[in-house]
Amino acid sequence: MDLVKNVVTVGGWTLVYRVSSFIRDIAQSYTLGAGLFADVASLSFKFANSLRKLFAEGAFNASFLPVFSNSLKEKGRDEAQRIASQIFTWLTILVAFLSIVGLIFFRNIMRGFAPGIDPSCEKFEHLVAVGRICSPYVAASFLSAMFGGILNTLNRFAMPAAAQLTLNIFVIIALFSGPLFFPSCAYTMACGVFLSGVVQVIILWINVKHCGFNIGLNFASVGNEVKMFFKRLLSGIIGAGVLQLNILIDFGVLSFLPTGAVSYFYYVDHVNQFPLGILGIAFSTALLPPITRAIHAKKISVAQKQMNLGLLFAFIFTFPASVLLMSLSEPLIASIYGRGNFTGEHVSAAYPALIAFSFGLPVYMATKVFSSAFFANKDTQTPLKGGLLAIFFNLLFIGLLVPSLKHTGIAMATTLSSWCNWIYLAMNVKKRCGIQVNSSTKKTCRKLILVSLGMLTAITFLNTYAERYYQNGGVGRAAALLIVTGFGLGIFGVLGAVVRAFGFLKEIKEIEKKDDTMA
């Protein structure tokens, strides 16, 4: 298993997805701005997309991968296909049932999701209508997650990562199509979301069949593996997807704030999700299989090396990303969204939330790495408890910060709750999994923090000279951003080399060789 190759493969496709997401967001902000329909579209899309991320990128893979991988290795392809077909059967029944119930009671669901919007007002009516169109996308995400998990287990990482592009392609086409016979582009955007879910399932199902697995309905007696999967899925939903659950809570609180707050938070969150999405998905899909195999083979030292490598490999990206988002938040938001119906006033209201989010990047990725170790050890209870703890602190910090900071306070509460989750997992990873963060990793982390502070100092100094270009906008602002970003990353690289913070990269080949031997 080539960890770096798989991270690059998944991360590369996810990078393409995130770039297309920016194009989608630019089209949405240009068309809808930060008004009533912008809030409706943001709430509806976030509701559907957060649930997709919760199941497709978190709990589902963590629950399905160990079951399918172990069955394939120990019992062969036929038995793995049988187990996968049974999971597919009962998953389809469950999804169909929940979808029908959800559509029937969707108005009540939206009252719970957006309690701050008056159910008798026009905004709520549009929210229910647009949300109903989007909601089947959540059902499709279950099946996409399953087929994608099968492909990941077979080391076919590219197609599951590439298939997610269908979402942005369909939404962009819908936004450019205009409102058609609907009252707003928010409705056509919802139609694009719905259709993309159907197409994504078809694409992944065809690829699974091409790999020799004919997954179909199987109503035979359910075995222990299937029961174990659903048990893990139930508890893993919260533990693996705590960030998405917190975001759903965040948007519920945002609904109480004045019109526009939802849109500000939505657009800024997508900028924050750029590095999180690339690395989070890449590590959760590429790191979990080798750690699972190592722990299953009782090679704890190999699993510990994999975890420490994953942790450092995540920090080497998230530390500089955090510095960039923190120090360049205003010109970055202005460059991406500051056009059309998204005015300078909207930019000024939005960018402080990005600063608040930036402090959470490294700990969120560390949580991803630690969670992989727990799930590989068949421990879903510890991430579950960490997730519940984070939700508690998120609500606590929201109560303390929102009255004065509004939507920025919600972003800060999300960040602080992620820190709480990470601290809890870090305190339990040795006790529960028998592996730990070694002294070498801690030393390298301290070096990376010092290097990041040097990078922050350099960018802060450069910003004093680039400020006038930021204010002028257009090509000048974009050029200044690229120059400052490039110089900052260069400083990070040079300082890192000077203090020898990148020495851990030399261990990669050795770890990969050992992992290939196990495979």
For residues 251-270, give the mean pLDDT.
89
| pLDDT at residue 484 greater than cutoff 70 | yes
| pLDDT at residue 64 greater than cutoff 60 | yes
Q: What is the reported pLDDT for 7?
A: 59
Mutual orientation of helices 224-240 and 60-75 as an angle, nearest 10°?
150
Question: Between residues 518 and 19, which one has the greater pLDDT?
Answer: 19
| pLDDT at residue 282 greater than cutoff 50 | yes
The percent of residues in the chain predicted with pLDDT above 70, rounded, is 87
Question: Where does the pLDDT of residue 149 fall: very low under 50, low under 70, confident under 90, or very high at 90 and above?
Answer: confident
Helix count and strand count (H, E) for the chain:
23, 0
pLDDT one-digit tens code per residue, 196-213? 999 999 999 998 888 888
| pLDDT at residue 235 greater than cutoff 70 | no
pTM of the model: 0.76
The percent of residues in the chain predicted with pLDDT above 90, rounded, is 29
- Provide the token pair at 406: 């509004």
Amino acid sitting at position 28: Q
Q: What is the reported pLDDT for 69?
A: 76
Q: Of the given ranges (210-219, 295-304, 478-487), which has the lowest mean pLDDT?
A: 295-304
Q: Of the given ranges (84-98, 135-149, 224-238), which has the lowest mean pLDDT?
A: 224-238
Q: Are the beta carbons of 38 and 28 closer than 8 angstroms?
A: yes
Q: What is the reported pLDDT for 1?
A: 44
Backbone region of residue 214 per phi and psi (left: phi > 0; alpha: psi in -120 to 50; beta: other values): beta
DSSP structure string for 301-333: HHHHHHHHHHHHHHHHHHHHHHHHHHHSHHHHH
Is the torsion defined by CA of 233, 238, 243, 246 positive or negative? positive
Which residues have a Cβ under 8 Å from the Cβ of 464 and sit 6 or more positions away?
none
Q: What is the reported pLDDT for 381?
A: 79
Question: Where does the pLDDT of residue 107 fall: very low under 50, low under 70, confident under 90, or very high at 90 and above?
Answer: very high
pLDDT one-digit tens code per residue, 395-413? 999 999 999 999 999 999 9
| pLDDT at residue 519 greater than cutoff 50 | no
Q: What is the reported pLDDT for 392?
A: 92
Mean pLDDT (the chain) is: 83
> Nearest CA to 353 among 406, 395, 397?
406
| pLDDT at residue 331 greater than cutoff 80 | yes
Question: Between residues 466 and 429, which one has the greater pLDDT?
Answer: 466
pLDDT one-digit tens code per residue, 346-396? 899 999 999 999 998 898 888 888 877 787 777 777 887 888 888 899 999
For residues 440-449, give the mean pLDDT.
89
pLDDT one-digit tens code per residue, 28-37? 888 888 888 9
pLDDT one-digit tens code per residue, 295-312? 766 777 777 777 787 788
Element (H, E) at 24: helix 3-32
- Provide the token pair at 264: 């500000």
- Provide the token pair at 459: 């960018």
Q: What is the reported pLDDT for 139?
A: 85
Q: Of the given ranges (152-161, 231-240, 462-471), which has the lowest mean pLDDT?
A: 231-240
Q: What is the reported pLDDT for 55?
A: 65
In degrees, to the nearest 5, what angle opens at C-alpha 1 toward C-alphas 511 and 424?
A: 70
| pLDDT at residue 106 greater than cutoff 70 | yes
Q: What is the reported pLDDT for 256?
A: 92
Q: Please, what's the b/e burial string for 474-507 (b: 16 or more CB within 10 A of its CB; e: otherwise)?
A: eeebeebbeebbebbbebbeebbeebebbebeee
Q: What is the reported pLDDT for 287?
A: 58
Question: Where does the pLDDT of residue 283 fall: very low under 50, low under 70, confident under 90, or very high at 90 and above?
Answer: low
- Helical H segments across 343-438, by residue range: 344-358, 361-376, 381-405, 407-433
Place of tokens 């999700």: 273
For residues 218-222, give the mean pLDDT.
77
Question: Between residues 460 and 314, which one has the greater pLDDT?
Answer: 460
Q: What is the reported pLDDT for 213?
A: 84
| pLDDT at residue 188 greater than cutoff 70 | yes
CA 316 to chain centre: 18
